[in-house]
């Protein structure tokens, strides 16, 4: 059948495209992004093709992308000690900043591990989409934000909220459906939010967040303040019309908005090569009329630097940026083991885990003398205790009362 042949050919091409993601290639270990691969001095077939792609791209992509890519590449080659010194500005982040980003990542990791276990033990109702593996993205971006800055999140939203300052107790209470949760137990995992922290909600609709983030950015511009809004979304959502409309309007109005695409390689269970014909979502930026930047989403410093530039541009009136972070989720689309669907290999997962953002950053912190192994372990233990306390608090908390069912459907004056 000609059609079948065509499909096979397309699949082959797709497989080639995702070669850097494939576990069979050692490239994955060496480079987080194709950019890195391309710039790397070592040779491989995959790298060559990536390099070709980059070469072709560099002509049409904005100037912003090139230095960002260079930075990532440079970092990959240099010793970890350059981390503290390097950066967009000549002054690197302080030790306090490094510690804060690490804390964010570790808090997310441990929260999600526990939440996943609770779900699989049947202690949490509904479905949880866990952020384990992608911690560097939320942490690196959020390090630049205050509570006055808005974010919209995704169905995989716990990590964004933890990084934005969400506390374990009301978060677990929300996952447990208790009235002490951030949303009084009425939103749950997929709608968890905190307006005081500037978190405009996880979102059960893929592509639901970006138009709202664009609206929040409009609000900031309208009021004339210097606050920004960040739209987190995935490679899956990048195919939703809502994302294109939001991006076009943000660029048109030069809104203080950053579109952060967490490209984890899968739209639910469908590999990126099977859901879009491009490898880099950032390619679409020029179509919107904004800079497109790719960074290593498994490297919190790379995210921190790239996000810093994009956020600074937004704050200073330079308009939006599409920042694509190449990352990976270790767990299933839902839960830890999920539904047991075979859509990726264990080898692929293990290969990505070798580039774990937290492990590598902890090594850097130790090498830089920012934290000792002992301190890191103590911190981990403290987070563990806080988690258990929060889970106890959540399970001890009351469920919403029947009268709360009809509460807050509408705003009622004086209620």
What is the C-alpha separation between 389 and 232, in angstroms, rounded? 30
What is the C-alpha separation between 130 and 115, in angstroms, rounded? 8
From candidates 2, 63, 79, 409, binder to another protein by CB under 8 A: 409
Residue 220 in contact with another protein, rule: CB under 8 A: yes
Residue 229 in contact with another protein, rule: CB under 8 A: yes
In the complex, what is the shortest distance from the CB of residue 201 to another protein, in angstroms, rounded to a whole number?
6
Residue 403 in contact with another protein, rule: CB under 8 A: no
Residue 396 in contact with another protein, rule: CB under 8 A: no
In the complex, what is the shortest distance from the CB of residue 411 to another protein, in angstroms, rounded to a whole number?
4
396's enclosing H/E stretch is: helix 373-396
Tell me the per-residue interface mask from 172 to 211 with another protein, x by CB under 8 A, - otherwise: ---------xxxxxxx---x-xxxx---xx-xxx--x-xx
- Burial letters 66-92, b for 16+ CB under 10 A, else e: eebbebbbebbeeebebbbebbeeeeb
Closer Cβ to another protein, 96 or 410, answer by number: 410
| Residue among 261, 266, 389 nearest 332 (CA) | 266
In the complex, what is the shortest distance from the CB of residue 237 to another protein, in angstroms, rounded to a whole number?
12
Residue 365 in contact with another protein, rule: CB under 8 A: no
Q: Which stretch binds another protein (CB under 8 A): 17-25, 125-133, 243-251, 377-385?
A: 243-251
- Partners of residue 152 on adjacent β-strands: 231
In the complex, what is the shortest distance from the CB of residue 256 to another protein, in angstroms, rounded to a whole number?
12
Residue 300 in contact with another protein, rule: CB under 8 A: no
What is the C-alpha separation between 115 and 113, in angstroms, rounded? 6
Segment 249-268, which members bind another protein (CB under 8 A)? Answer: 249, 252
SS3 144: coil
**Helices assigned H by DSSP within 164-320:** 168-175, 209-223, 241-252, 272-275, 285-288, 300-315
**Residues that contact another protein, how many (by CB under 8 A):** 47
| Residue among 7, 3, 18 nearest 278 (CA) | 18
Closer Cβ to another protein, 73 or 231, answer by number: 231
What is the C-alpha separation between 318 and 251, in angstroms, rounded? 10
Separation of first and last alpha carbons in the chain:
67
Residue 278 in contact with another protein, rule: CB under 8 A: no
Closer Cβ to another protein, 13 or 252, answer by number: 252
Residue 246 in contact with another protein, rule: CB under 8 A: yes
What is the C-alpha separation between 43 and 31, in angstroms, rounded? 12
Give the residues lining the site for another protein (CB under 8 A).
150, 152, 181-187, 191, 193-196, 200-201, 203-205, 208, 210-220, 222-223, 229, 241-242, 245-246, 248-249, 252, 407-411, 413
């Amino acid at each position: 059948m000609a059609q079948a042949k065509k499909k096979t050919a397309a699949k082959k091409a797709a497989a080639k495209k995702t070669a850097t993601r494939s576990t069979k290639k050692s490239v994955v270990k060496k480079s987080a992004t194709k950019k890195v691969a391309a710039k790397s001095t070592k040779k491989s077939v995959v790298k060559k093709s990536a390099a070709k792609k980059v070469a072709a791209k560099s002509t049409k992509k904005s100037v912003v992308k090139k230095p960002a890519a260079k930075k990532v590449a440079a970092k990959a080659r240099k010793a970890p000690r350059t981390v503290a010194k390097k950066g967009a500005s000549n002054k690197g982040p302080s030790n306090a900043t490094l510690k804060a980003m690490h804390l964010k990542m570790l808090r997310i990791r441990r929260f999600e591990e526990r939440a996943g276990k609770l779900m699989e033990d049947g202690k949490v109702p509904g479905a949880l989409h866990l952020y384990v593996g992608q911690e560097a993205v939320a942490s690196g971006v959020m390090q630049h934000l205050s509570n006055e800055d808005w974010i919209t999140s995704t169905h995989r939203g716990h990590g964004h909220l933890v990084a934005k300052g969400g506390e374990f107790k009301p978060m677990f209470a929300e996952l447990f459906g208790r009235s002490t949760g951030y949303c009084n137990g009425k939103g749950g995992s997929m709608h968890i939010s905190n307006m005081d922290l500037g978190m405009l909600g996880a979102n059960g609709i893929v592509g639901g967040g970006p138009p709202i983030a664009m609206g929040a950015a409009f609000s900031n511009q309208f009021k004339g303040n210097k606050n920004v809004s960040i739209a987190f979304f995935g490679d899956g959502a990048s195919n939703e019309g809502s994302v294109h409309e939001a991006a076009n309007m943000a660029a048109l109005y030069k809104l203080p908005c950053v579109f952060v695409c967490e490209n984890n390689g899968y739209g639910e269970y469908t590999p990126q090569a099977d859901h879009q014909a491009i490898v880099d979502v950032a390619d679409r930026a020029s179509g919107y009329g904004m800079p497109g930047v790719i960074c290593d989403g498994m490297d919190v410093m790379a995210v921190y630097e790239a996000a810093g530039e994009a956020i600074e541009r937004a704050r200073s009136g330079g308009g939006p940026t599409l920042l694509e972070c190449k990352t990976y989720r270790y767990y299933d689309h839902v839960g830890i083991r999920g539904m047991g669907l075979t859509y990726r290999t264990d080898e692929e997962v293990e290969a990505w885990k070798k580039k774990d953002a937290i492990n590598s950053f902890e090594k850097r912190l130790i090498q830089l003398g920012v934290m000792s192994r002992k301190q890191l372990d103590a911190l981990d233990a403290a987070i563990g205790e806080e988690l258990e306390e929060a889970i106890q608090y959540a399970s001890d908390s009351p469920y919403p009362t029947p009268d709360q069912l009809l509460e807050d459907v509408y705003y009622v004056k004086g209620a």
